[in-house]
A and B are shown apart, each in its own frame.
Chain A
Amino acid sequence: MKRFIGFIKKEFYHIFRDRRSLFILFGMPIAQIMLFGFAITNEINNVDIAVLDHSKDATTKEIINKISASKYFSINQFIDKESDIETIFKKGKVKAVLNFEKDFSKNLIKDHNAKIQIVTDATDPNTANTISNYVNAILIQYQKELNKNITISYQIVPRTRMVYNPELKSVYMFVPGVMTIILMLVSAMMTSISITREKELGTMEILLVSPIKPIQVIVGKVFPYIFLSIINAIVIVLLSIFIFKMPVQGSLFLLGMESVLFIITALALGILISTISATQQTAMMISLIGLMLPVILLSGFIFPISSMPLPLQMISNIIPAKWFIIIIKGIMLKGVGMQFIWKETLILLGMTIFFIGLSVKKYKIRLE
């Protein structure tokens, strides 16, 4: 036990004396969260739009007021005829035009059906899509208010996309993904680098020719990173709660336990990488290409899995990050408990045991 503590002490010396790895450890999570939260965002704010109102009645006025009152849009100008739409887009002054049909109010009351056209500038498809979603959301909200006063209501508008993130805040979608990336990066890459560094320095030779057991070396290497990864997970959750006002719906304890499980998965992968690479550089390349890219591309973090081609969907199943993202999205955004995520947890646990088994089997007690 004393041996083991001595080993861990040494690991902490390494970590705290290496500015570069300290930066990766603590700078990265904060930088990434801020980057995804503020800079890379799907949100829109004060987008200039134009209005072409053919009816100019009470209802359209009310809707226009609602829209201009929201912080997402500001009404840049009113236009009079259809042909102006193209002109105004060409000038690039507005991103969208709301086109109310003639007799909007009348149609709504009489037929329960009034039409509004949302014309968006789709040169930037993401923004166009978001704008139309936002306008829709405002319209639905307005409809609901209308229906409240009128007792009968048939208006059922299924818009599942917005249920757990009614304001469509992209940071809510990014937090689980960023947390996954960070835990993967810190745990897998840093462990594999720190083990291969000993190989490169030649200290692994001395450690092998000593009574310290391989398992002690591995656990000693991994332990500090479990600790640091947990701190990172906490920092990320705190940042998202306090800076981005993101509510965590589910149990924090469950979130913590699931994170620890995922950290261990990532560490096991890190050990596995270190057994197959001889230099720090190789370890880093394998971690970045073999782990980071799949996490970003195939885990459903940025691109929805359901819209991937079938082969990629199948591949995504073997990526631990996919399951972890499902789990933490469930806990953070939906507030679900174990009964809804036990399957994913079990898959992750199975993977972890497999990776640990494999890396123990691959770990060499000699040099070749």
Chain B
Amino acid sequence: MGISVSHISKSYKAVKALKDISFEVKAGELFGLIGPDGAGKTTLFRILTTLLIANEGTATVANFDVISDYKNIRKSVGYMPGKFSLYQDLTVEENLDFFATIFGTTIEENYDLIKDIYVQIAPFKDRRAGKLSGGMKQKLALCCALIHKPKVLFLDEPTTGVDPVSRKEFWDMLKRLQQKGITILVSTPYMDEAALCDRIALIQDGKILEIDTPQAIVKHYPKQIYNVRANNTYQLIKALNTYKHNHSTYPFGEFVHYTDSRLNFNPDDLVRYLESKKLSNIEIEKTNPTIEDTFMELAK
């Protein structure tokens, strides 16, 4: 078992950050914790990396208990906190060398593991970490978290503030690391990244909404979603929200995602209604739900 979390709760003063969280991550799995800021993701990461103690519940990481066996966990996990946490005044190479040393290893010893990533930042190895671009920093942080060949890798919002190109590269790297047998727990507020994980947990306000594979989660969506478009998006949203059969209306990129409360919904009815509201160029078509649709339906 990679990670096992059982009935974990955690409060800060009056705020309940985590409420009775349970889930399991199999060894070698790429597991995503998907939820907005303030959902409790970082608190959960800190409990699992032995930095915080939960008020209730138990958890194990790589089969070590997070409280009684915390020393063993610290030897066998890699952790990349949400905020860029490397020494800005040290160069790329010095940072990597430092983390290798405190984990009692050397860059050469585990070079295999980081090679793919390191070659991309190697041209800048004498540059101070503080002067790197966002994507480069993130790659360096990943190298530092991997340098001791951890069994479990914790990545707290690794792609926040990083551009799409670097994000794509980052996820490709995670896939390759997974193939080397590393269990990965990654958190992200971006729903579109969920599809890249083996399994995901949707989390909001300290509670898990659902745990499953991204495909299954999407399949469980209870309704047919329609993409609706018209000449004026704002008027369209207003009209849909006041439609008596409206189940949900959410702007979704260039469309509005609409679900109807009736089982025998006929799009033509809706077209007529929207036309009565003086909207034109109306398009309605069926579409498949996304993780984000599911999240909103569950969080409703």
A122 contacts chain B at the CB level, 8 A cutoff: no
Q: What B residues does A202 contact at CB under 8 A?
A: 81, 83-85
A62 contacts chain B at the CB level, 8 A cutoff: no
Instruction: State A210–B73 Cα separation when bound (angstroms).
Output: 9
Q: What B residues does A212 contact at CB under 8 A?
A: 102
A209 contacts chain B at the CB level, 8 A cutoff: yes
Contact across chains for B51 and A208 when beta carbons are under 8 A apart: yes
Instruction: State A210–B86 Cα separation when bound (angstroms).
Output: 14
Q: What B residues does A367 contact at CB under 8 A?
A: 46, 51-52
Tell me the nearest residue of chain A to B144, going by C-beta: A206
Tell me the nearest residue of chain B to A203, going by C-beta: B85
Contact across chains for A13 and B81 when beta carbons are under 8 A apart: no
Instruction: State A75–B173 Cα separation when bound (angstroms).
Output: 87
Contact flag A17-B102 (CB < 8 Å), given A6-B97, A211-B71: no
Tell me the nearest residue of chain B to A7, going by C-beta: B102
Contact across chains for A13 and B94 when beta carbons are under 8 A apart: yes
Q: Chain A 1-30, CB within 8 Å of chain B: the 1/0 string?
A: 011011101100110011000000000000
Shortest CB-to-CB span from B252 to chain A, Å, is: 35
Contact flag A3-B102 (CB < 8 Å), given A209-B49, A367-B52: yes
Contact flag A14-B49 (CB < 8 Å), given A6-B101, A206-B81: no
Tell me the nearest residue of chain B to A6, going by C-beta: B101
Q: What B residues does A211 contact at CB under 8 A?
A: 71, 74-75, 102-104
Shortest CB-to-CB span from B128 to chain A, Å, is: 8
Instruction: State A205–B51 Cα separation when bound (angstroms).
Output: 7
Interface size range of chain A in the complex: 20 to 34
Chain B interface, number of residues (Cβ within 8 angstroms): 31
A207 contacts chain B at the CB level, 8 A cutoff: yes
Contact across chains for B94 and A10 when beta carbons are under 8 A apart: yes
Shortest CB-to-CB span from A194 to chain B, Å, is: 11
Q: What B residues does A13 contact at CB under 8 A?
A: 87, 89-90, 94
Contact across chains for A206 and B46 when beta carbons are under 8 A apart: no
Q: What B residues does A7 contact at CB under 8 A?
A: 98, 101-102
Contact flag A210-B74 (CB < 8 Å), given A2-B104, A10-B90: yes
Known: A211-B74, A212-B102. 11 other contacts (CB 8 A): A2-B104, A6-B98, A7-B101, A13-B87, A13-B90, A201-B83, A201-B85, A206-B144, A211-B104, A366-B53, A367-B52
Residues of B within 8 A of A (CB): 46, 49-53, 70-71, 74-75, 77, 79, 81, 83-90, 94, 97-99, 101-104, 144-145
